Structure 1
Amino acid sequence: MKLCAAALVAAMVVLATAGCTDTDEPVNPGASASSAPTSMTFDEVYRILPMDGTRDLPISWDLSQVQDTDEILAARRSLAFLKWLDASTDWPSVIPIGRFLFTERSYQATLEPFINATDTNDPRIGPIWVKTVGVETNGPDQVTVTFCTDIGYWRNTSEKSQVRRDRANLESYEMHYVQTSDGQRRWLADRVSANDGKRGPKYDAECTKWAQHQP
């Protein structure tokens, strides 16, 4: 199986832009939870997380519209992590970081099974631009953060370089405020909608107008 981050998070991601191609080769089911860097602290993880993307997949953030609260920052960290994974060919080193950014249920179902994946030699490259466009309260200790992402130049390295026609993409992160392994309560991503058609009527026009960047 040819892997990309979209396939890895299929259980929590509703995705229309994956670009993954399957073969009959099985996926290595991965290692146990003990592979996660449990000796690290949340603050240490936050410091190493490439919030502005990587050299080949840089992220430019537009934070002008919505105040960057704790839950929005947590959602931005989860987005940055998934783009980091998109750009990486070393998933065994990157995936364990997800335990500090996603709920345990999401991590075990969608990240941990791929921790030993090796067929990751066609990473994504950028750049991309991301703008926070909305925050909705779903219930006690649950919110959904929606981003407009300009993915006009986002592609696999094997693909021809050209600007995407449908470059304005809405992606939403359902965040839960939960107690984490260090005894603190933090916002973690539980579900991701990487192509959020549900919120299209509310944000599509704004996102399409904004997503017109040039490298």
Structure 2
Amino acid sequence: MELALQFGIELPATRTIPRCVTDPVPSFEQIVDAHYQGLYRFALSMSRREATAQDLVQQTFLQWAKKGHTLRDASKVKTWLFTTIYREWLAIARREKKYEEVEFEPEVHGATQKEDDGENPRVDSATLQTALEELEPNYRAPLVLFYLKELSYRDIAETLGVPIGTVMSRLSRAKDSLRAILHRLEKSTPTNIIPITAS
């Protein structure tokens, strides 16, 4: 939420669903109503293709229709859905040989360069979207899930299948990289801009 407000992104309206573990899992229609937009936007941010994003969402809800009845904890519905759509995207990306999961290693790739001239970048929503698309998938996914989908570190770790420490590390590097990209875009692209503050 914080990043969305800073960067001027409008979050999708969602219906609230039960969060108590003892509450029943919502119906299929409630699940679709509550999470369709969020899943689609996440899929689009990863795949960058509308048709692929739509296919991913459809496949995710198909998986829910087949296996969702096994989930007894209503508070885990959102995590289950985002975990499923992320895994579906990985399968597609690997088949297309467009994604290779490589963990950042400073001694191999060089230290992360922090571009900080003492001022925060100024950005509009279109510039932010461009910057997000430049991030590597390993860094873009946790950033989107944390700030725009408001998943916890633990839920992101479950979704991406990595330790919580890795999530925190990737988020830190993602924010540094995003800030550097935004500084570069700010200098190269004149536009109507609004100031943002570092989180």
TM-score for both structures, normalised by structure 1: 0.24
Q: Which has the larger radius of gyration?
A: 2
More helix per residue = 2
TM-score (norm 2): 0.26
Structure with greater strand share of residues = 1
